[in-house]
Amino acid sequence: MRRDTPRTAVWVVVPIAVALALLVGLLATRDPSSDRAVNGMAVGRVAPLTEGADLDGIWFDLDQHRGQWALVNFFSTTCVPCIDEHPELVRFSERHRAIGDALVVSVAFDDSVANVKAFFAENGGDWPVLTEGVGSLAVAYGVTAVPESYLVAPSGVVAAKLVGGVNADDLDQRIETLLAGVQQ
């Protein structure tokens, strides 16, 4: 009796590959502006351990910034909505840097250090950018596609998941809304 192992493997691998391709296509073509704030598995919980060397080799640890709002932004230099949102991140960062009440930390998702350095040199942004070993960080936050951002409250709890590009004014409004809910 002859075994057709290669043929059997094709019948198993091809349907799986087609299913994965359809899933990737679905995620890539979704409208990022729809339901910009959605629940994620990290929302309502203490932020996952968010630490590592930034682009300058300086160690960043989100826990060292308790007492401030933090926007943890997952992005890629090849993602058009990520590129479009970047000036808004710069505005938000600059607006809050002087006050010291909020910061941005970016997590480069599936990107090279060289590309990320070039992107920030060209587009601005002076905040920590994590690039090494960030795959597990994306899983811990529940990232499904970039851009995604997580607003972490001064207490260290993830207050919101924002899907798609962010807007500086909308971020400020969300913080005000969250603060009003706490003060009631």
pTM over 0.85: no
Q: What distance in Å separates the CA atoms of residue 12 and residue 45, rounded to the nearest whole number?
A: 39
Question: Within 10 Å of residue 29's Cβ, how many Cβ atoms?
Answer: 7
Q: Is the pLDDT of residue 34 over 60?
A: no
User: Could you check whether the bond before residue 87 is cis, i.e. omega within 30 degrees of 0?
Assistant: no
CA distances for 95 relative to 102, 168, 174, angstroms: 9, 9, 15
Nearest partner of 108 among 129, 78, 136, judged by Cα: 129
Are the C-beta atoms of 108 and 76 separated by less than 8 Å?
yes
Residues 6+ apart with CB under 8 A from 139: none
Instruction: Say whether 72 sits in a helix, a strand or coil.
Output: strand
With cut-offs at 50, 70 and 90, classify the pLDDT of residue 88: very high
- Backbone angles phi and psi of 33, in degrees to 5: -85, -10
Among 39-53, 64-78, 126-140, 145-159, the range scoring the smallest mean pLDDT is 39-53
Residue 109 has what pLDDT?
A: 87
Are the C-beta atoms of 53 and 146 separated by less than 8 Å?
no
Are the C-beta atoms of 55 and 120 separated by less than 8 Å?
yes
